[in-house]
Structure 1
Amino acid sequence: MLYFVPTPIGNLADMTYRGVDVLKAVSLILCEDTRVSGKLLKHYDIETPMRAYHQHNEHQITKSIEDKLKNGEDIAVISDAGTPLISDPGFLLARKCAELKLSVTCLPGPTAFVPALVCSGLPTDKFVFEGFLPPKKGRQKRLQFLNNETRTMVFYESPHKLIKTLNDFKTTFGKDRPISLSREISKMFEEIRHGTVEDILEYYAERKPKGEFVITVKGLD
């Protein structure tokens, strides 16, 4: 069995009992960064061996993982934080398991965009998760495509690119488009801010963005 196991996005107490049990029971844990995941495993007294599995090596090692699964091993995939495959590695392995009809399951657990969407005050009945916008090539084309999107849109962004993205939103969606910013979800300095694109730009004109952001944007009326 291949297990995709969500890990805390901030507060270590968000790890589920089942998630801990699975990580203790499998023969191998695939993770983005063994140093980051090592802290989580140490906290929960998990001694299972780890192996780095990330965007720079997943093409090279997927075949070896596939062979282990065929031989009856149970393997878990985790990311540095949150649910694997949601703006994190794991898709190639999931696709290969589906093609080969190998057993796969994903445990429920932390994902940053869900609490951000719930707390945004924007419609949650229909939404589209965009994750990170393309850094350069295809960025403007994607934004223009989304200009007519009527569903609530959810984006991820890093602190050093936040202002650029907000300015792109201002150009594409207009300065009065309602948005919500959530940062450091579940951590000590969690903050959720509501307003228009212009409001949020003015707020960060006087403050340096810190932490990882989830930006929720109201769809076109």
Structure 2
Amino acid sequence: MKTSQIAAGAAFICSVVFLTALSAANAESEPSLRMPKPQRVKPCSKPQIKLEKLPALGPLTEVIEPNILEAFKNRMRRMKQDGSYDRRFAENKNKIRRALEAPEPAVELSSAQALRVWDVTPSIPERLPEKMLRESRQIELPRIPRALLFIDGSDEQNLTAAKRLIRTLPDARVVLTSGSIAETSERLNRRIFFDQGSSLVRTFGIRQVPALLFNGETGPQCAEFPADEPELVLPYLRP
């Protein structure tokens, strides 16, 4: 082999070694150019908790009461076996149906024997300052959209009075203070409402029926009138 070829081979080998060393040095100086070696994920280990049993602070008594859930299941099982469950279910269903058809009135109202008319006034707390009390008394109450006729649906005279008054006030709403909603609706041939809990009669101060809430000359008014003379309230109605 010629000397020139040997020298050329040696020079090539030296250049390769030099380039390899240079690339390694650059890789060490720029770590961002290197691909990170994937790390092996270690599973989370549960912390070792040592349970400590504390000593009793006093005498212990065994629980002798029966399990409430098991006692309830056993009772229901016995009720279904002897038929009392079905009987009680039917009684409650009938009770709810009767309460919907004829709710129980919270306040028993007597029949009106004479005409009584009064202005409906707002309920203002007396704790307000004197200035606010004077200003609130000067506020004019808004007109009610339609008259409310309060009657006892179980009283025949109240039903007759309602029929006579509805001819003059066809838009009036009939509100029962007692009686059957379905039967009164059929008798008067119109939709019937019920004063649940007697909240309306308490609010307007109604003590007897029939009574009418209407728009008077000075604002909303309420009147109690005899069932056989419903026309007594007509002169107070605002045209």
Is TM (by shorter chain) over 0.5? no
TM-score (norm 2): 0.22
Structure with the largest fraction of helix: 2
Structure with the largest fraction of strand: 1
Query: Which structure: larger Rg?
Result: 2
TM-score (norm 1): 0.24
